[in-house]
Structure 1
Amino acid sequence: MDNHIQLGLGLLSIGRVWGARQVEPPAEEQAINLIETAFQLGIRFFDTAPAYGASESIFGKALFGKSIAQDDITIATKIGEHWDFETGTSYVDHGYDALARSLDQSMKRLGRIDLLQLHKATVENVAANDVVRAFELARSYGVKTFGASVSDTTTALQACKAGFYNYLQFPFNKTATGLGEIFALLKQYHMQPIINRPLAMGALAADEVSKSDLFRFIREQMQSGIILTGTSSVKHLTENYEAFSQSA
């Protein structure tokens, strides 16, 4: 295990219904307090996306509220999956126009993007011309780091071979190890993992389960990278941070 593994905060749960228990998002004031608490605990990596409903907008308000030091954090978001506020549902569009509009909206909401990830990446789109063009546009906006959110090893390999991704985000936990082969791929291609669903969206967070053991199981697979906790509760965030710290 390595000290270069850090805990990040996934912000899906502040923008829309989420998790194994289908928890409603908190009020905006509570969501901002969650972000501020994460920063106070020492979390410096924040992961959001347009498909997370109101998440980007709320995170942007926390950023512009200057309650956290923007220069000291990593702002990560995505393009490729979008949110329809009228229907309250997400949809996928990897065409250049949709990607460019999404990127522009995210820049306005967040002020800057440190890590831009391709949402719902597949073998067909992970290196498609429209995606490459959208990343080039992002570079012109000052984005320097790129990633892809993948759900199968074939797409992961294609992303690694593409040559312009720095990170791959994927789910992995003690009861869902199917994508474990990706760790070796990332090591081979000198890329970094971002692990989501470490507690299976809350399904593994029962009182009798040691969260530190769950985090430790993931840490044993990686030498560096990010593990995301996705809670909307300050109490659970604090517990998860303590468990992660104990897992080192």
Structure 2
Amino acid sequence: MKQITLGSTGIQTPQNAFGALPIQRVSTEEAVKILHRAYEGGMTFFDTARAYSDSEEKMGEAFGHMRNKIYIATKTAATTPDEFWRQLETSLHLLRTDYLDLYQFHCVNQCYRPEDGTGMYECMLKAKEQGMIRHIGVTAHKIGIAEECVASGLYETMQFPFSYLSSVQELHLVEACSRQNMGFIAMKGLAGGLIHNSKAAMAYMTQFDNVLPIWGIQKISELEEWLSYMENTPSMDEEISAYIEKEKLELTGDFCRGCGYCMPCPAGIMINQCARMSLMLRRAPSAGWLTPQMQEEMKKIENCLECGQCIKKCPYELNTPELLKKNYEDYKKVLAGEVSVN
């Protein structure tokens, strides 16, 4: 596994990092066990966020006694200076540390700049001056906002969804970061669960010297799969390249990544599952998708208000109501036995 340097931060770490969003779904005991094993297996970069419920607290429990051995990145979704400082103090307390290696504006809808009237970038500068944070980063889901942040030269890292299903525009974003000596942190490397071949996913990332993938992990079995690549790192050979090209043909165009930023839905629709049901039925076959409970969830699509809230919230700018309708029609055909998903 090659070591990469995360842009101008100087942070050097294996190109195989830990995304700590999923550990909010397991017990503290299990989370600590997973985090310790990740470190023992060679991972040194751990990414979390204030928004991930108790993820920071669990990381603090795991690493509070060995702070200097790892890199910690977290995020703030604050939009006012007062909230910025409250969230930063909370993160430091829960992570049991007096500094963060990387502090990121979380899922921004604008590129914060000095003297833009918000005071947000000035907060980052002050926190860095006081030694509370060491590097300033940003995360985004909308490509236009991400491009603006990169072009600004104000940030040391960009975190953005990136996988072998990414578009040419997203590849250009990675290249722009490289030219700016800006670290690129790849989230959603498995495209929200649509990619099942971890070997292909890892091989794809190794092509980029400035990309650090953070894999969302909540089970030891998942972790061991990623750790196995520390010694036996897959590379883009002909077989994997052909496999990825086949995947791209199946998953090109608009599809829901399941991020959930569109929720809650005023009509109570479970958008992050229902809007991609057709893909899940075929790529992750499970009797659970066809249970009476899930049928009731899908039926809620009939009550869509066409309010457009989900369209406005979608970071991928999808026509979500239209996706919901298409998935519902396909779902009904599967239930009726008109379409086979085996």
- Alignment TM-score, normalising by the size of structure 2: 0.60
Q: In the alignment, does 2:58 pair up with 1:58?
A: yes
Name the structure 2 match of 1:156: 146
Partner letter of residue 147 of structure 2? L
The reply on whether 1:195 has 2:192 as its aligned counterpart is no
Higher helix proportion (structure 1 or 2): 2
Show the counterpart of 1:49: 49
Match of 2:18 among 6, 9, 12: 9
Displacement after TM superposition at 1:229 (Å) = 0.9
Which of 107, 113, 122 is equivalent to 1:120?
107
Higher strand share: 1
Q: Deviations over 1:208-248 (max 9, x none)?
A: x3x2222112222x213311111100111111222464225
The answer to whether the Cα contact below 8 Å between 1:126 and 1:155 also exists between their aligned partners in 2 is no
Contact 1:2–1:224, Cα closer than 8 Å, also in 2: no
CA distance in 2, matches of 1:172, 1:124: 20
Q: Are 1:107 and 2:92 an aligned pair? A: yes
The 1-side partners of 2:200 and 2:113 are apart by 34
- Higher relative contact order, chain-length normalized (CA < 8 Å, sep 6+): 1
- Whole-Å separation in 1 of the counterparts to 2:193 and 2:224: 15
Deviations 1:26-47 (A, max 9, x none): 1110001010000000000000
**Partner amino acid, structure 2, of 1:11:** A
Q: Indicate the residue corresponding to 1:217 in structure 2.
A: 204
**Higher alpha-carbon Rg:** 2
Aligned residues: 219
Q: CA deviation at 1:96?
A: 1.1
CA distance in 2, matches of 1:194, 1:134: 22
CA distance in structure 1 between the partners assigned to 2:173 and 2:93 by the alignment: 33
Contact 2:205-2:211 within 8 A present in 1 as well: no
- Unpaired runs of 5+ in structure 1? 16-24, 81-92
For residue 180 of structure 1, give the secondary structure of its aligned residue in structure 2.
helix
Give the aligned residue type for 2:49.
Answer: A
Question: 1 CA distance for matches of 2:113 and 2:199?
Answer: 34
**d(CA) in 1 for partners of 2:57, 2:185:** 22
Q: Which residue of 1 aligns with 2:76?
A: 79
Q: CA deviation at 1:142?
A: 3.5
- State the superposition RMSD in angstroms: 2.1
Structure 2 residues not aligned, in runs of 5+: 5-13, 236-342
State the alpha-carbon separation in 2 of the partners of residues 182 and 108 from structure 1: 34
Match of residue 32 from structure 1: 32
